[in-house]
């Protein structure tokens, strides 16, 4: 089964690629730097999946991967998280009574759920914490917004900007999805000096190194 790993930027793609050095004996995933944000990620991932199908080499699993903000104290800097739900946190309507997700407006979806058994295997193999990973179009920059998101999503471990878009593309192609993130900063007040992007990229490389046998041995029938 072929695996497509979609990151946002080339630095994340290259961090994943370092887990599969020249001479690596197993299957190397397809790697795509899809761009930042859910819309760009969805469009680029859908295009890659369509091209692979057209060329007769379809993918069987799609992975959204990269760095993320972690909700303290649940996801510390440098740690890995794996999504057991991929939820769009800002797709909906603001009302006087608070935020309403699009599902409560009568359309769409706001959550995709990766295969449970695969999430467990990823967590066991990498030490990643499993929980909700939120997709946002605006990076959180205040403690108030961080608290509001956690109040609405008490299981949230991290926020990033692409997972839901990648998951929408995978779903349109009838494919399972995973989201794996390495925490580069805390969700909350903006503090660029506190970002640990290098450490997070290193954690991503190590995580994918440990993950490789899991991805190679998993097939979607395991979860049915």
Ligand X SMILES: O=C(O)c1cccc(C(=O)CC[C@H]2O[C@@H](n3cnc4c(=O)[nH]cnc43)[C@H](O)[C@@H]2O)c1
In the complex with ligand X, which residue's Cβ is closer, 70 or 101?
70
Minimum Å gap between C-beta 82 and ligand X is: 15
In the complex with ligand X, which residue's Cβ is closer, 121 or 203?
203
- DSSP track, 74-112: TS-TT-EEEEEEEEESS-EEEETTEEEEGGGGTSS-SEE
**Strand 59-70 vs strand 156-160: parallel, antiparallel, or unpaired?**
antiparallel
User: Which position has the token pair 């706001």?
Assistant: 110
Contact set with ligand X (CB under 6 A):
8, 36, 66-69, 136, 139-141, 159-162, 184-185, 187, 190
Minimum Å gap between C-beta 32 and ligand X is: 13
In the complex with ligand X, which residue's Cβ is closer, 114 or 188?
188
Q: Nearest residue by C-beta to ligand X?
A: 69
Minimum Å gap between C-beta 143 and ligand X is: 13
Minimum Å gap between C-beta 31 and ligand X is: 15
In the complex with ligand X, which residue's Cβ is closer, 88 or 184?
184
Minimum Å gap between C-beta 106 and ligand X is: 28
In the complex with ligand X, which residue's Cβ is closer, 16 or 121?
16
User: Which position has the token pair 């349109």?
Assistant: 172
Minimum Å gap between C-beta 121 and ligand X is: 24
In the complex with ligand X, which residue's Cβ is closer, 197 or 214?
197
- Determine the Cα–Cα distance for residues 68 and 182; give it in Å rounded to an integer: 6
């Amino acid at each position: 089964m072929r695996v497509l790993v979609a990151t946002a930027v080339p630095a994340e793609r290259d961090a994943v690629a370092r887990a599969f050095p020249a001479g690596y004996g197993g299957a190397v995933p397809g790697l795509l730097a899809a761009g930042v944000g859910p819309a760009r990620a969805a469009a680029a991932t859908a295009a890659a999946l369509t091209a692979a199908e057209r060329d007769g080499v379809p993918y069987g699993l799609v992975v959204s991967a990269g760095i993320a903000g972690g909700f303290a104290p649940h996801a510390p800097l440098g740690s890995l998280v794996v999504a057991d739900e991929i939820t769009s946190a800002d797709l909906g309507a603001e009302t006087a009574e608070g935020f309403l997700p699009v599902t409560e407006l009568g359309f769409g979806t706001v959550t995709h759920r990766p295969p449970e058994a695969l999430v467990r295997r990823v967590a066991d193999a990498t030490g990643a914490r499993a929980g909700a990973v939120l997709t946002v179009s605006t990076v959180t920059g205040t403690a108030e917004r961080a608290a509001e998101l956690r109040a609405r999503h008490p299981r949230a471990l991290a926020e990033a900007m692409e997972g839901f878009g990648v998951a929408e593309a995978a779903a349109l192609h009838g494919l399972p999805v995973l989201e794996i993130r390495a925490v580069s900063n805390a969700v909350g007040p903006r503090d660029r000096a506190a970002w640990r992007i290098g450490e997070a990229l290193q954690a991503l490389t190590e995580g994918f190194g440990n993950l490789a046998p899991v991805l190679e041995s998993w097939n979607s029938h395991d979860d049915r």
